[in-house]
Amino acid sequence: MKKMLAFALTVAMLLCATAAVAEEVDTYTSASATKTLLTGDALTEAVALLSENDSDLATLAQTKEEGYVAPTAAMAQIMSVNPDGSVGLSTISEWRYDVSEEGADQVTVELTYGQNALNLSEEGARGTLLVRLDGVSYLVHLDVVSSDEQVYTDEAYEAGEFDAHYSGAANQLSSYTIVSDVLSIETTTMLMF
């Protein structure tokens, strides 16, 4: 019995040691055969499509200026991880993809106060922007670099200082402008929501 227990303990220790030195895997595409990490021309085409279908993040006051024409922006969803480990998901219309000549491209989103906004309001937070364009679903993986909270005031709201689709006035909620570096972009054949 002691030999068997010693053998089992030795095997368990070897398995733990093997797991400890296992190489780290790509957290994006390795988990699913339904996703493709974009590179090269496919990435360039996706970036162009995303930046052509984003919002201008206009405030309500800007939309009322003479000559203003709203872009035909695609709706998107943004995901984060809630404190309890569940997924935070918000549907948004106010997002912009900025192409950078130097460094990482960036995505800016406007979120009304809520758990998802709080999840993404700190530097270093991670999230994913989900956008469906021309029958293709894009997953834009993000690393938050800055966040600006606009606290609600009646004066600011009446002056049209919040984004054009701000929905927090009834409850006097803050609005967050969150800027993130783009880590990678994937396409997927399946989205469940």
**Whether the predicted pLDDT of 29 surpasses 60:** no
Strand partners, 63: none
Residue 13 forms part of a structural domain: no
Concatenated DSSP letters of 130-167 = EEEETTEEEEEEEEEEEEEEE---HHHHHTT-SBTT--
Residue 125 forms part of a structural domain: yes
Other C-beta atoms within 10 Å of 52: how many? 13
Q: Which residue has the higher pLDDT, 102 or 27?
A: 102
Residue 11 forms part of a structural domain: no
Task: State pTM to two decimals.
Answer: 0.82
So what's the pLDDT on residue 13? 43
Distance CA 58, CA 160 (A): 10
CB neighbours of 35 closer than 8 A, spacing ≥ 6?
28, 29, 139, 186, 187, 188
pLDDT category of residue 192 using cuts at 50, 70 and 90: low
Residue 77 forms part of a structural domain: yes
What is the tens place of the pLDDT at every residue in 52-87?
A: 999 999 999 999 999 999 888 899 999 999 999 999
Residue 19 forms part of a structural domain: no
What is the tens place of the pLDDT at every residue in 135-155?
A: 899 999 999 999 999 999 999
Domain count across the chain: 1
CA 147 centroid distance within chain: 13
Distance CA 58, CA 163 (A): 6
Concatenated DSSP letters of 83-94 = TTSPEEEEEES-
So what's the pLDDT on residue 17? 41
Residue 41 forms part of a structural domain: yes
Residue 6 forms part of a structural domain: no
**Residue 129 belongs to a domain with what CATH number?**
2.30.110.10
By the 8 A CB rule, do 97 and 51 touch?
yes
Other C-beta atoms within 10 Å of 94: how many? 22
Q: Domain containing 48: what range? A: 32-188
Residue 16 forms part of a structural domain: no
Of 192, 190, 189, 187, residue with least CA distance to 49: 187
Structure-block tokens of residue 64: 């009322």
